[in-house]
Structure 1
Amino acid sequence: MDYKNTLLMPKTAFPMRGNLPNKEPIRQAEWEEKNLYQKSLKRTEDRPAFILHDGPPYANGDLHIGHALNKILKDFITRYKSMTGYYVPYVPGWDTHGLPIETALTKKKKINRKEMSVAEFRKLCAEYALEQVDNQRDQFKKLGIRGDWDNPYITLTKDYEAAQIKVFGEMAKKGYIYKGLKPVYWSPSSESALAEAEIEYYDKRSPSIYVAFEVTDGRGLLEAGDKIVIWTTTPWTIPANLGICIHPELEYVVVAVDGERYVVGQALLEMVAEELEWKDYQIVKTFTGEKADRIVARHPFYDRDSLVMLGNHVTTDAGTGCVHTAPGHGEDDFYVSKQYGIEVLCPVDEKGVFTEEAPGFTGLFYDKANKVITEKLEEVGALLKLQFITHSYPHDWRTKKPTIFRATAQWFASIKDFRQTILDEIKKVNWYPQWGETRLYNMVRDREDWCISRQRTWGVPIPVIYAEDQTPIITDETITHISNLFREHGSNIWFEWDAKDLLPEGFTSEHSPNGVFTKETDIMDVWFDSGSSHEAVLMGREDHYRPADIYLEGSDQYRGWFNSSLSTSVAVTGKAPYETVISHGFALDGEGRKMSKSLGNVIQPAKVQKQLGADILRLWVSSVDYQADVRISDDILKQISEAYRKIRNTIRFMLANLGDFNPSTDRIPYAELEEVDKYMLHRFKKLVTDVRHSYENYEFSPVFHQIHNFCAVDLSSFYLDFAKDILYIEAADNKRRRSIQTGYYEILTALVKLLTPIIPHTADEVWEYIPETEEESVQLTDIPNPEEMPDFQEIAEKWDHFMLVRDDVLKALEEARNEKVIGKSLEAKLIIMPKDGQTKQVLESIDELHQYLIVSEVDLVQKLDDGKKYTYVDVHVDKHPGEKCERCWVASHTVGEVSEHPTLCSRCATIVKENNLV
């Protein structure tokens, strides 16, 4: 007789394979059709708000893996918070101004800017930017990111630009905005000033030269003809030299070498002597730097003085202790020279080419001038040594080409005026990781001014009108008027209207007696754009949410968005715009290398989504320690896919064994559950506690590992495994069977909720197969609160101890298999001797012990001479002498006892007879 049909085998339509690349787009369309984002807001509208403010990615090109890492992390948080007691609107944003879009139009689109007006070109920039927004928005949505995609914030919109003008005006009103001549990072390749946030450091090969400046007035300390030695890696700045800085407290020496007398810092003498190959030198004088103040030297090849000045920025880390000073090409140089009344000289134009202020080098590009200037120094006998070094050098982060320091008239935000308030606010913020506080604190502590003007076209104009005498006009009246004009017409009117038309009607100024006005032509730094989002977005929507609960971006944003947002917010409100800052690392390949097309190691999110599915990419994000740099490769994604399959198959097994379970009628009350089911619910409650704790601390890697481990160990290796002998074999309404199904049901429904923030596509799919779920999506439910879950602590110690004993037994069974004593564990009969009182008590108290150990029989004995010895028990494994039951596969002495069913054990025969299964 075939008894297969008498078994209650698992049945489910839930597919074994996820087929994610094909199913996810369908599910995303359903989410959009059902308007799940708005429904989630409606469901939670009476709860406290939780705001994660989106740092805007730049609207240019397809998403890279860093974009995916960032947005998925944010989605974990917003989804989790929405399911744990909060109202969580999420407004995605885009940064849309700046050079890359200008470059894309001129190079990729072949747009000739000279054939059109500024306003016409800006309109093309806006169109291009919005195309990029649409492209990136579609790719973000395919990653399962939930948010207000129909109403994002975009930095080029009228409302946004109007709010940004308001921020500028408030800062100007408080005296934080000024225009001045000062050396700033300048990019000849972009022909624009740059902020520190726009600087990246790469290795560069540069000439390293030692130059002698001859003293003409030693002020009684030095002799005429003594030579002060400087060292520089920028020979091109020598034509701009106006002085030499020394430290007032350092010791300096005059050294006699080969009939010449040289001045260097005493601490650097040995190194300089070695570099310049001074074989026999003699120190003829020692003095402190302060005594050499205002000594005069002569420029090596121009007929002008080079004044010795005192500067605390001078160090003995490298060089000679005497620092070449060109106030037009260095920040320290500028400030020191200013104290000495020395005017700025900047003989290099916006393209990096020497002007007529550098006779002999006019028309040369600064970098190419290095060789010519070095040759000139050698010609006049001032060059002591030339060699080449490779060192870290600032580059334009967009063009990847070297920058220079160049003094120009720029608009600045005076950070130093409110720096202490910023530092105080930094200490109030929660930082993940903690070192983020120190990093930003140190950046702000050393910051003087922020150059906010750019000599570009595509951006928000600096809203300054100039009077006839060039006095800048920035008043509450003009700022409010311009802000309102931008809100109504957009910022393009700045380039379309005359200056007088941008002023309030009837506006007059004593500085413009003839009523003539002109406009500022520079635009604002794009970091001022995005840094104003706390005003434009957090305060610009229906509900006011400043400060935001969280800003979360890559670690490069300490110098970028975290910094600019903090500066503008503190300037305007006196407070930080965020309560918590979280940063993540960069995505590297499997070997820890930066991704690049040349290496062929680029992993594209769209490709992963099409090949494996967005949930696999999301699961990868959850698996890594994102606060450090993270690795991704095909092999790593393959491992993640295996983990996904384990989780999915565990869920599928539970679903399949709930095929005949009706929660309304079949659920066993908690108090009446079997002990093992209570124990598994206890174990699961601990999982919920741990997972929620990890989520609350924004630690997603523990969430992944805790859930994966629970599925693999607690469920698959134990609860789902031993239960087959009950779920398949017993009658449908058997209480032990319904008890296990109750445990499965409780664990499954809660487990899916725990997984929803991480793999929402799969979670929603599972939700559709769980019996009697009322909500249309698991996203519209709450993650269980462990405090509201049943507590079975009283049995935990007993079953925890059993699990330790079980580990001993599993070792014994494995050894028996290796020794060919048994094949499958159901062939085994175990003789177990407990080694202590607790173990004896635990094992004697468990009915059907053999089922939990998945063997056919267990005998407990007081003494065992030939057993394998383990921690808690000694174990002897025999092959069971009984016959194998055709129905349950358990070896039993009772097979054949019931004559009508000679191939069944008495247990199976009774089940079959009493339930009329044949």
Structure 2
Amino acid sequence: MCADTPDYKDTLNLPKTDFPMRAGLPKREPGWLERWARIGVYERLREKEGREAFTLHDGPPYANGHLHIGHALNKTIKDMIVRSHQMMGRDARYIPGWDCHGLPIEWKIEEQYRKKGRDKDQVPINEFRAECRDFAAGWVDIQREEFKRLGITGNWDEPYLTMDFHAERVIAEEFMKFLMNGTLYQGSKPVMWSPVEQTALAEAEVEYHDKDSFTIWVKFRVAEYQAPDLALAGEEMGGEEATAIFEAGQKAATDFEGAYVVIWTTTPWTMPSNKAVVFGPDISYGLYEVTGRPEECWARIGERYILADNLAADVLGRARLDETMYRRLRDVTPAQLSAMTLTHPLNGAEGGEGAWDDIRDFRAADFVTDTEGTGFVHCAPSHGMEEYELYRELGMLEQVITYNVNPDGRFRDDLPFFGGKAILKPNGKEGNANTAVIDKLAEVGGLLARGKIKHSYPHSWRSKAPVIYRNTPQWFAAIDKPVGDGQDTHGTTIRQRALTEIDNVNWTPRSGRNRLHSMMESRPDWVLSRQRAWGVPLTCFTKKGALPMDDDFLLRNPQVNRRITSAFEAEGADAWYDEDAKQRFLEGVVNPDDYEQVMDILDVWFDSGSTHAFVLRDRADGTEDGVADVYMEGTDQHRGWFHSSLLQSVGTTGRAPYRNVVTHGMTLDEKGLKMSKSIGNTIVPDEVVRQYGADILRLWVAQTDYTADQRIGPEILKGVADSYRRLRNTMRFMLGSLSDFTEADRTDPADMPELERWVLHRLSELDETVRAGYAAFDFQRVFSSVFTFATVDLSAFYFDIRKDALYCDGDTLERRAARTVLDLLYHRLTTWLAPILVFTMEEVWLERNPGDDSSVHLTDIPETPGDWRDEALAAKWAGIRSARRAVTAALEIQRTDKVIGASLEAAPVVHVEDADLAATLQALPFADICITSQISVTTDPAPAEAFRLPEVPGIGVVFEKADGAKCARCWKVLPDVGLHAHPGVCGRCNTALG
């Protein structure tokens, strides 16, 4: 530029915007939250009339601690579902809720008592319950603010709480439906029991962790072998054959006399409760004799053991016997095993008081395998479901059920040898019961071997302590008994109804259907009762002197039920614990003295499973049919909330409470490891928000495939922040270029250049993709499509091309059309992305729509005209873009080699083999598209030195420098620069300057 050439910078139409490059989200987001609350965005959306309702029913988090990253993932996905459906024209309601009852809260109050030296049992129960209620209410308030900080929209002023009086009334009411329809019963069977928490647990309250367990191989002596009936054999066959049978029987009797059946167990503490041993009817067994032994070995020379052949070498190896120290004497058939009886290893032990002197039952069972152990299973039906069910089917439960283990996991005090010994200590650590049992078995010669094993073992998800199976009276909902409510359209039993309804639900991902279906096919009866204080009680009465199987055992009286539910509505479930509760509810209907009041509380999964009744059915902002459009939770809820909600709903209404079930995976660290405070790899949502802002956390959610396990960590978040920065720059350019756009600038699509009409075509395609993605809850698809469009199609292509016209043109069609397209882009990008980036898109929206009542979240995604779609044009521009890629790649080499500083210094020659494509390029301002000052397109064969891009065949590019001088205003190199009224500019810029 000559010294006397004017500076034309101020004559350019450069972008003008106050939209900052740096977002400053952590500091600015709270202001938008305050603004939304002030203008009542959620409430104003509810005022929109004529819209079809859409309800996502919130699975209630537990009110007892700060949010973790799983909470943030969960609530953000829910928020995206709600917001996207609202912006697609629905009345999308979201009522947040909390699970407020249960053991963890009780524990916290008990901890406070212990610190103060108070005894919980000396505190009036309703005083204790009031403290639990206050504790839960405090955490509800804390979590509510933490959720709101993430940008979650909803009816935060009126959430649902399972401890609200109306909720407690409905939970009790729903329980009473099981009471009245005949599915409620009291039974005594093994249930998962937490000795630490002293209550039964549901499968959903159990998680599996590795545990080191004692393992023992125990000898049960063959007490008697009953040979075949020789008299009968003699009548039915000849003398020689009968003699052979007799001799074989005598030989077997001799071989088996004093032999041992060996069992293996990882729960030595169950040995005092052993009542039987079972074998597999199709397993090959042998009799093995010890012929030698090393020192410090419990096996004795001459002892004989019956073992599964597939496992014999392993078992004897555990006893420190190598293959030279034993021999296999003979086959042992299932018929011969059936002819044996066994004695417990503690049989006859001094001081045992005869507790184990009965003969042990010995029979075949289908669940025995020869893949591990010994091929025999010791049975303590009080502590194992398979054994329990076996003896229940045989009608022998009374003979085999024991009550040796107390609620705290200690053996009953009067149990010989082991009284008072604890399976677990109060802190959940290993107690002294296992070692006491092992030591006693070793003392009486009952052990063959011992060891330890690391295996997956059930633990309480609350206390993290191991659980046991323990026989105890509990209340159950029978899922295979016909439901006596007259609703037969979905099957007669809870299981049949549930299996039918599962296939009436849409599952995202589809695997969720298979998982829940499989669980429902095999699940046992639902354990409803818990032996705790903070919850909704089982509001029923039992008749004194009656047995659980008697018809009059349970009081089923509608008038009594109404009295209870009325009291709960007014006073909450505390009414059940008043001193005069039994008289109050029964007097005048039945004689209170004839009945016992049940004091167990309901499983909290029944509480949350019942929420559809008091939220969807009863609230004004619920649903007309009491069914939610969506339930959305983590994959663990297939055995939790999805499961219990389905069971509860089909048991009382005959249908599922949801139309769609959406499932997300678990959140892992960057290495794919489960997060753990002890490892130090946890990510706390509040820390991410304080460092990056909630929108970055929300963007992480949108970028992940949440249906599988996802990863998060510092490096991943840096990548998310970089994606955000690139998108923000796109929005900033768009805002700056629209700073003074008015309706007078708007151009009809029919009059636009092809490039603009191609952008409109892409908008049409994307609108379809975005709506389909949001409808399918596929936020990764939505964001990746929009992000790719914004950064590749727009920033790297369309904006790159049109910057010249936007900055340098006067009032031209190209500039007006480009700005019209930018306006159309603005309205779509902001609304498409608003459900994801709730704060940023509000900021973008307010840049052009200031005002106290304005919000992008009050806006719907705009409809896209059908005539924007132009497949022929899209195909044509696909070829143009390919040719452009070849040109830009060729120029990049020249720039890297410092032959040129910018592409505007070039005037390449483009050799195109396809004549149609060449004609297309020649008819276009291809130089503008390639951002060069000049360009030539020819069908002449490309010379050997031409640049070729492998992925764009048929095009060769020969580099040439542009002829002329550099325009002082637009920087193009053109021959006419300096020949116009305004010095140093080209003809186009001279016209723009006027």
- TM-score, normalisation: structure 2: 0.88
Tell me the SS of whatever aligns to 1:391: strand
Of 312-321 and 337-346, more deviation after overlay is shown by 337-346
The amino acid of 2:172's aligned partner reads I
Q: Does 2:441 align with 1:374?
A: no
Task: Map residues 217-296 of structure 1 onto 2, 5 A cutoff.
Answer: 217-220=224-227, 223-258=256-291, 259-276=302-319, 277=321, 279-288=325-334, 292=338, 295-296=341-342
Are 2:47 and 1:42 aligned?
yes
CA contact (8 A) 2:288 2:326 kept: no
Note the C-alpha offset of 1:407.
0.7
Give the CA deviation at 1:598.
Answer: 2.4
1:267/1:340 Cα in 2 relative to 1: closer, same or farther (>3 Å)? farther
Q: Which one is further off, 147-156 or 109-118? A: 109-118
**CA distance in 2: counterparts of 1:773 and 1:493, whole angstroms:** 52
- Name the aligned partner's letter for residue 285 of structure 1: D
Q: Could you say which residue in structure 1 is the equivalent of 2:238?
A: none
Are residues 730 and 152 of structure 1, via their aligned partners in 2, closer, same or farther at CA, if it must alter by over 3 Å? same
Q: Match for residue 670 of structure 1?
A: 749
Structure 2 distance, partners of 1:838, 1:650, is: 34
Give the whole-Å Cα distance in 2 for the aligned partners of 1:80 and 1:802: 35
**Is 1:90 matched up with 2:90?**
no
Q: Deviations over 1:804-842 (max 9, x none)?
A: 111111111111112322111111111112121232121
Letter in 1 for 2:435: K
> Cα distance, 1:85 vs. partner?
2.5
One-letter amino acid matched to 2:279: I
Contact 1:205 1:391 (C-alpha < 8 Å) held by counterparts = yes
How many residues matched?
904
Aligned twin of 1:440? 516
**Counterpart for residue 75 of structure 1:** 79
Residue in 1 that maps onto 2:403? 346
Per the TM alignment, residue 901 of structure 1 is displaced from its structure 2 partner at its CA by: 2.5
Measured at CA, do residues 237 and 787 of structure 1 come closer, stay the same or move farther in structure 2, by a change above 3 Å? Answer: farther
Distance 2:991 2:659 in 1: 66
- Mean alpha-carbon deviation: is it higher for 310-319 or for 672-681? 310-319
Separation of aligned partners in 2, 1:549 and 1:769: 35
| Range that drifts further, 871-880 or 298-307 | 298-307
| Most deviating of 273-282 and 131-140 | 273-282
**Selected match of 2:103 from 78, 99, 103:** 99
- Stretch of structure 1 that moved more, 277-286 or 592-601: 277-286
| Shift of residue 16, structure 1, vs aligned partner | 2.0
Q: Could you tell me how far 1:41 is from its partner in structure 2? A: 1.8
User: SS in structure 2 opposite 1:799?
Assistant: helix
State whether structure 2 residue 617 is matched by structure 1 residue 613. no
One-letter amino acid matched to 2:162? T
Q: Work out which of the residue numbers 724, 733, 736 in structure 2 matches 1:653.
A: 733
The residue that corresponds to 1:873 in the other structure is 955
Distance 1:895 1:400 in 2: 80
Tell me the distance in 1 between the aligned counterparts of 2:864 and 2:746.
20
Distance 1:306 1:273 in 2: 24
Separation in 2, partners of 1:220, 1:336 = 26
Choose the corresponding residue for 2:633, options 553, 561, 567: 553
Residues in 1 aligned to 2:89 and 2:625: alpha-carbon distance in whole angstroms:
17
Question: Which SS does the other structure have where 1:207 is aligned?
Answer: strand
Contact 1:293 / 1:310 at 8 angstroms: preserved in 2? no
Matched, 1:905 2:982: no
Q: Helix, strand or coil: the match of 1:868?
A: coil
CA deviations on 1:272-304 (whole Å, 9 max, x unpaired) are 344342633224233126961773434434322
Tell whether 2:480 aligns with 1:416.
Answer: yes
User: Are residue 819 (structure 1) and residue 897 (structure 2) matched?
Assistant: yes
CA distance in 2, matches of 1:713, 1:557: 39
Aligned-partner SS, 1:90: strand
**Partner letter of residue 987 of structure 2?**
S
Higher deviation after alignment, 764-773 or 539-548: 764-773
Residue 486 of structure 1: how far off its partner (Å):
0.8
1:122 pairs with 2:176: no
Decide which of 7, 10, 23 is 1:5's aligned counterpart: 10
- The C-alpha deviation readout for 1:617-671, integer Å capped at 9, x for no partner, is 1111000111111111122111111111111111111111111210x22100111
- 8 Å CA contact 1:188–1:351 kept in 2: the answer is yes
Structure 1: tracts of 5 or more residues without a match: none
Shifted more, 516-525 versus 531-540: the winner is 516-525
Separation (CA, whole Å) in 1 of partners of 2:339 and 2:527: 32
Given that 2:341 and 2:362 are in contact with CA atoms closer than 8 Å, whether structure 1 keeps it comes out as: yes
Unaligned stretches of 5+ in structure 2?
1-5, 229-252, 292-301, 348-355, 424-430, 482-492, 547-552
Q: Is residue 309–residue 336 contact of structure 1 (8 Å, CA) maintained in 2?
A: no
1:760 corresponds to which letter in structure 2?
V
Q: State the AA in 1 paired with 2:160.
A: Y
Q: Could you tell me how far apart the structure 1 residues matched to 2:913 and 2:812 are?
A: 35
How far apart are the structure 2 equivalents of 1:378 and 1:370? Answer: 12
The answer for the alignment partner of 1:325 in structure 2 is 379
Shift, 1:368, TM fit: 1.1
Match for 1:198: what amino acid? E
Give the SS at the match of 2:471: strand
1:214 and 1:226 in contact (8 A); partners too: yes
- How far has the Cα of 1:860 moved from its partner? 2.0
Using the alignment, how far apart are the partners of 1:60 and 1:621 within structure 2? Answer: 24
Query: Deviation string for 1:351-375 (max 9, x for gaps)?
Result: 1111145201111112412112112
**Range with bigger deviation, 677-686 or 471-480:** 471-480
* RMSD over equivalenced CA pairs, Å: 2.0
- 2:421 counterpart of 1:364: yes
Relative distance call for 1:289 and 1:436 in structure 2 (3 A) is: farther
Name the structure 1 match of 2:64. 60
> Is the Cα–Cα contact under 8 Å of residues 289 and 310 in structure 1 kept in the other structure?
no
Cα distance in 2, alignment partners of residues 102 and 399 from structure 1: 12
Give the whole-Å Cα distance in 1 for the aligned partners of 2:849 and 2:260. Answer: 91
Partner residue in 1 for 2:215: 208
Distance, in Å, in 1 between the alignment partners of 2:184 and 2:855 is 51
State whether structure 2 residue 932 is matched by structure 1 residue 850: no
How much has 1:788 moved relative to structure 2?
Answer: 4.3
- The AA in structure 1 aligned to 2:817 is S
Decide which moves more: 270-279 or 871-880: 270-279
Instruction: Give the 3-state SS of the residue equivalent to 2:326 in structure 1.
Output: coil
CA distance in 2 between counterparts of 1:414 and 1:324 reads 28
Q: Distance in 2 between matches of 1:595 and 1:201?
A: 15
> Residues 793 and 336 of structure 1: is their aligned pair in 2 closer, same or farther, counting only changes over 3 Å?
closer
What SS class does the counterpart of residue 840 from structure 1 fall into?
Answer: helix
- Higher deviation after alignment, 642-651 or 286-295: 286-295
Letter in 2 for 1:782: D
| Aligned-partner Cα distance in 1 for 2:158–2:688 | 27
| 8 Å CA contact retained: 1:821, 1:879 | no
Is 1:51–2:55 an aligned residue pair? yes
CA deviations over 1:295-324 (Å, ceiling 9, x no partner): 343443432221113322222231112111
Greater mean alpha carbon deviation, residues 609-618 or residues 276-285: 276-285
Q: Classify 1:298/1:24 alpha carbon distance in 2 versus 1 (closer, same or farther; 3 Å).
A: closer
Closer, same or farther: CA 40–857 of 1 in aligned 2, 3 Å: same
SS in 2 for 1:138: helix
Shift of 1:757: 0.6
Return the alpha-carbon distance in structure 2 between the equivalents of residues 743 and 293 of structure 1. Answer: 90
Per the normalisation by structure 1, the TM-score is 0.95
Letter of the 2:930 partner, please give it.
Answer: L
Q: CA deviation at 1:693?
A: 2.0
Partner of residue 494, structure 1: 576
Match of 2:777 in 1: 698
In the alignment, residue 239 of structure 1 is paired with which amino acid?
P
CA drift at 1:2: 2.1
Letter in 2 for 1:575: R
- Alignment map for 1:749-760 (pairs within 5 Å): 749-760=827-838
CA drift at 1:449 = 1.3
Query: Which residue of 187, 190, 193 maps to 1:183?
Result: 190
Match of 2:671 among 591, 594, 614: 591
The 5-angstrom pairing of residues 152-167 of structure 1 reads 152-167=159-174
> Could you tell me how far apart the structure 2 residues matched to 1:79 and 1:591 are?
32
Q: CA deviation at 1:214?
A: 1.0
- The residue type paired with residue 473 of structure 2 is A
SS of residue paired to 2:632: strand
Name the amino acid aligned to 2:343. A
CA distance in 2, matches of 1:446, 1:828: 73
Q: Which residue in 1 is equivalent to 2:391?
A: 337
